Structures are given as C-alpha cells and as structure tokens.
Chain A
Amino acid sequence: MELLISLIIGLLTAVGVFLVLRGRTFPVVLGLTVLSYAVNLFIFSAGRLVIDGAAVLKSGLATPDPVPQALVLTAIVIGFAMTAFAVILAIRARADLGNDHVDGRLPEQSGEQK
C-alpha cells in the first residue's frame, strides 16, 4: 500500500509541476489544484499508514496519528480558498490584458500554442 500511495503522490506531483509550468493561466490553475491534491495526500500519509485501525480510539487496535488529519483539513480549506482566488485573478487578467497568457502577452512565435 505504501508503494501505491507514494506512486499516486509522485504522479500527481509530476502532473502538477508540468501543468504549473505551462504558459496559459488555465493549465496553471489546474496544475496548482493537482499539486494541492498531492500535498494533501502527502501530509495525510506523513502520520504513517494504518490498515484496519480504530476510527477514533479502541483498545487493542492501532490508532492512526490524528495530527496530520487536522493539518490536512487546514491545508484543504486554505488550498480551496487560494484556488478560488487564482481562478478569479485569471479571469480578471484575461479581461484586463486581452489574453490568457501568464505574462500578460503572447510570445512572439506561436510555436507553443496548444
């Protein structure tokens, strides 16, 4: 299970980083979202993975560390708010600057158009 979780986190991070490096705002926002999924899973697994553990507390059963779960909740809320802000800003930039490139202007060659 550790392998599976780490592969998922790795894949999500790779996708997120790739998308963040794109030239237009929409893929970048998507990339940030995917990256925040990877982050959330990563923090969640920082408290060690437990199978068949007690949901809260039960004698004789292993209990997962509750702190990362609290951290993840905070990170999700913050990530959500920030993504919302980034979306609004991207729309505003599209309206103000007339294009959706992160630099505010299209590059000279249209080679990287997608």
Chain B
Amino acid sequence: MNHLITLPIILPLLLATLQLLPVFEKSIERQRVISLVGSLTLVIVSVALLMSASAGNVTLYALGNWDAPFGIQLVGDRLSSLMVLLTSLLLLSANLYASAGDDNQGRYFYPLMMFQAMGINGAFLTGDIFNLFVFFEILLIASYSLLIHGGGKHKTSAAVHYVFLNLVGSAIFLFALGIIYGTLGTLNMADMALRVRELNESEIQLTKIGGMMLLSVFALKAALLPLQFWLPRTYASAPGPVVALFAIMTKVGIYSIIRVQNLIFGDSAGALTDLGQDWIWVLALGTLVMATLGVISAPSVKRLAAHLVILSVGTLLVAVGFGSANSLSAALYYAVHSTLAGAAFFLIGDIIAEQRERSFDRIVAGRSLAQPMSIGILFFIAALTLIGMPPLSGFIGKFLIMKSIDSSSALVWAWPLLLIGSLAALVAFSRAGSTLFWRSNGKPDSSKASATRKFIAVGILLSAAPLMSLFAGPITQYTDATVEQLQAFEHDPTQIMAKGVQQ
C-alpha cells in the first residue's frame, strides 16, 4: 500500500505532539522552526499527492488492513488531494505570519494549529462518514482553543456562541448518523451509496430524514443562510493567522455537501437522488442576498472579510445547488480562489489593525498606516480578485460559474444576485480603501512597521490570484476531470472500496 496518503494526517499529529515535549514547549523559537519546516513538508507531501491524483490514480488506504465496508479507509482522489493542498498552503502562510510575534500571545499556538490542520486534512481524506464526524470534532476542538488565543472579552463572547452552536451541531450530526446507520447498516460512504439503491419504501423516508439532518449540519459548517449568523462575529474577533486557516473551514462543510450529494445521493440513488438539492439552491441565493447586505454594512475590515467569506459560500453553493457537471467544476475553481484570497484579506486586515493602534481595523479616518504603500498594493490586489475584476482569478471563477448556470429559469435568479454581490463588494472596497489609505492624518511612522515575513505570508496567498488566472486552462482541466471522477465513483462505488493487503 502507498503510505503517502496517511502523512497529511499523521505528520501534523506527530509534530504537534513533539512540540508539547519539554524541550520544545519552553522555546517558541524551536516551535517556530518545527512548525515552518513541518508545514513546508506538508505542502510538499500534498503536492506529491496531487501529482499522483492528477495522473488519474485513486489512492485507497485500508487502515489496519481491514477490507472496505468493515474498516475505515482513506480515499485520495482528485477532489480530496486538491483540498489537502489548499489546507497545507494556508497552514504554511498562517504559520509564517504568526511567527512574526502573534504566536506569543498565548500558549500552545503551533500545536493547536497542527491539530487543526490534522482535523481538516482528515475530514478531506476519510472515506467513512463516522470518521468524518471524528475529524470534524478534532478540527473543532482545536478551533475552539485557537479562537480565544490571546484572550480578550470579544474573543470569549464570540467563542461562547461558536462553541455552543457547534456542540448542538455535533449532536444533530450524531442523530443523523444513527438514523442512517439504522437504515443502511453501514458507515462507509461508498458502501452507503450501494445500499441506498436497495431501500424499501419505509426505509427511504427515514433515510431522507437522516440525509436532510446531515445536510443541515454541513450547512452550519458551511454557513448557509439561516445558519450563517455565527460567522461574522466569530471570524472578526479571531486572531489574524488563526482566521486565515479558518478560511478553509466553511469549505470543509461545502466539501462534505459535494461528497455526500455526489456519491451517496447521486443519480443512481432512486427516490433519494439529489436529496435537498432544491433547498441548497434556494438557500444559497438567500445567502447571497444576506452577504451582500453584510458586505455593504460592514464597519471594519475584518467584518468585511467575514461577510465576503459568506458571499463566496453563497456563490459556491449556488453552483453546487444548480448541480450540473460544469457548474460543479466551476465551483471547485472558485473554492480554491476564494479560500486563498479570503485568507489573504483577513491577514491584510490584521496588519491594518496592528498599525493603526486605536482605530484598529474599523473603517474610519484615523492615524496613518506605517507602510501605506505596501499595504495599499496588497489591499488593491486582494480587492480586485475578491470583487471579481479581470484579469485576476476572481473574475475567471465568477465567470465560469455564471457561464455554467445556463438554464434560463435559473439564470434569472442567479446572475443578478451574483453581479449585485460583486457590485456591493466593489462599493465596500472603495469605501474601505479610500477611508483607510487617504483619509488619514499624521505622517507614516516607520517604527511601527510590520515584520517583512507578514508581507511574505500575504504575498504567498495573493500570488495565487494572478497564477490561477494565468494557469486557468490546466486548473479547469483538473476540476473538469475531478467532476468526471466523482461521477464515475457514483456510477460504480466499488472502485473506491479499499482492499487490505493479502498476506
């Protein structure tokens, strides 16, 4: 068996544990070295995984050598490899950014970041739905602690909401799993896809209830309309590098929706085909409306960034809810773009808050920034790509999504809302940019300049915008092939059921 696929889970686990040993626990410098080297290694591992996946290989790994429906398996296909690479890139940039000093505000910053990365990677790689729950809990408990890293009233009160909400979410997740196990008798996602086709009438009703409950839990993680109110406050109060890694968390929810919708409740599922798809479509449109209002009314840069995350969730789920192969492929491109650009913008907001002292990142006239020029350039690039202006990746992503929504009845709803969302972002960015950079008093005070490595971290994330636009061809080929692969799995789920090595 190819053991490479276990590394994105095991490596962060080992590194986090290593950093808790006395030799490293006392020295933040040593932790920094380990974390940076570790996250760089993770990027390399994920690239290797992606190379293998893009050659068409599906890596199946039977944990403990148990054959598929009985043991837990890891599935490294195109979709999960892409998401794992995205996580590693975010982790590297967030750790690089934090190593400038943010990691010192509380204890155990790096171990928690590693545990969180482990949970996220595990959620992407697992092929077992109960294991998905376990990895959700790992990433959640790490995120709970990271959220209050550094302390402070705002963080505590935001964390109370976030933690309680997610604990209720976990309870509903377990109820859903109980119902689904009761009717399907399996937890392996590929096996579930097979069993769903042989249900009788009464079991179909129960499975429908379980499936919808599952969907609502994923919608909570993804921040879909009625369940998105927790996000702005939580994300705006979290420390910069932490929230940069959080940018992938809504995508974990969206990934799970895509996985479950396309594998278990796919075209062959009989009465359960596309379960909840209409709901996703309608609620995603509603999310766009709410996010548009939020973007216009955002009082601070980080709030703006948080509402932009919701806007991207709405955009993505509109494409997922539309449910054609093209729209799904476009959604995957947009997911990569919006994660990287969103994380970069959070970090920019954090730099602004750090340099403006009393007015923080609020969008009001205040003291001049210490480095208006370099921050301004980064802000401008981030704004362009997040609004969706050519020539950067945001434009291509949005264009692909709009092009893929080609039926006239759907188009009437989706196009105006998507475009108005972009317009709102344009207005909000112009207002924020002109206030922050032009309506300031005092000379730039270079003694308050931020560390160069913070700018490098933002630069790594933002460089994706021109690169993804430059290499849009190969990337869309990859996402097209990803959707084809998902459809092939749906057609014949047995091909992603791992077989243990015969002794």
Residues of B within 8 A of A102 (CB): 160-161, 164
- Complex Cα spacing A17 to B181, Å: 23
Q: How far is the CB of A94 from chain B (nearest CB, A)?
A: 10
Residues in A neighbouring B171, C-beta threshold 8 A: 16, 32, 35-36, 38-39
* B160, A46: Cβ atoms closer than 8 Å: no
Determine whether the beta carbon of A71 is less than 8 Å from that of B130.
Answer: yes
Chain B contact residues, majority secondary structure? helix
Alpha-carbon gap, A36 to B168, bound state (A): 9
Chain B's interface size range is 20 to 34
- Residue on B nearest A90 in the bound complex, by CB: B160
Whether B153 and A97, one on each chain, are in contact in the complex, defined by CB atoms closer than 8 angstroms, is: yes
Q: Which residues of B lie under 8 Å from residue A79 when comparing CB positions?
A: 170
A43 close to chain B: CB less than 8 A: yes
Q: How far is the CB of B102 from chain A (nearest CB, A)?
A: 20
CB-contacts of A20-79 with B (<8 A): 20, 25, 28, 32, 35-36, 38-39, 42-43, 45-48, 67-68, 71, 74-75, 78-79
B153 — nearest CB in chain A belongs to which residue?
Answer: A96
Tell me if A14 is interfacial: C-beta within 8 Å of chain B.
no
Partner of A89, one of B153, B159, B178: B159
The chain B residue with its CB closest to the CB of A42 is: B178
Instruction: Given A96-B153, A97-B156, A104-B157, answer yes or no on A32-B167 (Cβ-Cβ < 8 Å).
Output: yes
Give the interface size bracket for A toward B.
35 or more
A93 in the interface, Cβ–Cβ < 8 Å?
Answer: yes
Scan residues 120-161 of chain B and give those whose CB is less than 8 A from a CB of chain A. 130, 134, 137, 141, 144, 148, 151-153, 156-157, 159-161
Instruction: Give A86 to B161 CA distance when docked, in angstroms.
Output: 11
Give the residue among B151, B152, B182 with the most A Cβ atoms within 10 A.
Answer: B182
A93 and B147 alpha carbons, distance in the complex (Å)? 13
Q: Is the interface of A mostly helix, strand, loop or mixed?
A: helix
Decide if B175 is an interface residue (CB 8 Å cutoff).
Answer: yes
- B163 proximal to A (CB < 8 A): yes
B174 within 8 A of A: yes
Among B153, B170, B187, max chain A CB count under 10 A is at B170
Query: Do the beta carbons of A32 and B164 come within 8 Å of each other?
Result: yes
Would B177 and A85 count as touching, CB distance under 8 A?
Answer: no
Partner pick for A104 among B137, B141, B160, B175, CB 8 A cutoff: B160
A67 & B134 in contact (Cβ 8 Å cutoff): no
Q: Across the interface, do A25 and B168 meet the contact criterion of CB distance under 8 Å?
A: no
Is the CB–CB distance between A97 and B157 below 8 Å? Answer: yes
B199 within 8 A of A: no
**Bound CA span A16–B108, Å:** 33
Of B160, B175, B178, B187, which is within 8 A of A93 by CB? B160
Least Cβ–Cβ distance between B476 and chain A, in angstroms: 39
Residues of A within 8 A of B152 (CB): 96
Give complex CA distance A3, B222 in Å: 36
**B182 to chain A: which residues have CB within 8 Å?**
46-48
Q: Is the CB of A86 within 8 A of B163?
A: yes
Residues of A within 8 A of B175 (CB): 39, 42
CA distance A78 to B169 in the complex (A): 13
Most chain A beta-carbon contacts within 10 A, residue among B164, B174, B175, B187? B174
Q: Which of B137, B160, B179, B181 contacts A67 (CB 8 A)?
A: B181
Are the C-beta atoms of B153 and A104 separated by less than 8 Å?
A: yes
Do A39 and B174 contact each other (CB < 8 Å), given the known contacts A86-B163, A89-B160?
yes
Residues of A within 8 A of B179 (CB): 46
Please tell me which one of the listed residues A20, A67, A71 contacts residue B164 in the complex, with CB atoms under 8 A apart.
A20
- Which residues does chain B contribute within 8 Å of A74, judged by CB atoms? 130, 134
Is there a chain B Cβ closer than 8 Å to A81's Cβ? yes
Within 8 A of A (CB), among B387-413: none
Known: A35-B168, A43-B181, A96-B153. A25 touches B160 (CB 8 A): yes
Asked if A7 is at the interface (CB within 8 A of a chain B CB), the reply is no
Closest chain A residue to B160 by CB distance? A93
Shortest Cβ gap from B140 to chain A (Å)? 8
Residues of A within 8 A of B157 (CB): 93, 96-97, 103-104
B311-349, CB < 8 A from A: none
Instruction: Determine whether the beta carbon of A104 is less than 8 Å from that of B178.
Output: no
- Tell me if A11 counts as interface (CB < 8 A to partner B): no
In the assembled complex, the Cα of A28 lies from the Cα of B161 at a distance in Å of 11
CB distance from A67 to the nearest CB of B (A): 7
Is the CB of A5 closer than 8 A to any CB of chain B?
Answer: no
Other A-B pairs beyond A47-B181, A93-B156, 4, CB < 8 Å? A38-B171, A43-B174, A47-B182, A48-B182
Question: Which A residues contact B (CB, under 8 angstroms)?
Answer: 16, 20, 25, 28, 32, 35-36, 38-39, 42-43, 45-48, 67-68, 71, 74-75, 78-79, 81-82, 85-86, 89-90, 92-93, 96-97, 102-104
Residues of B within 8 A of A (CB): 130, 134, 137, 141, 144, 148, 151-153, 156-157, 159-161, 163-164, 167-168, 170-171, 174-175, 177-179, 181-182, 187
In the assembled complex, 20 residue pairs joining A and B whose CB atoms fall closer than 8 Å, in A order, are A20-B164, A25-B160, A39-B171, A39-B174, A43-B181, A46-B178, A46-B181, A46-B182, A67-B187, A68-B178, A68-B181, A78-B137, A82-B167, A85-B141, A86-B167, A89-B159, A89-B160, A90-B160, A93-B157, A104-B156
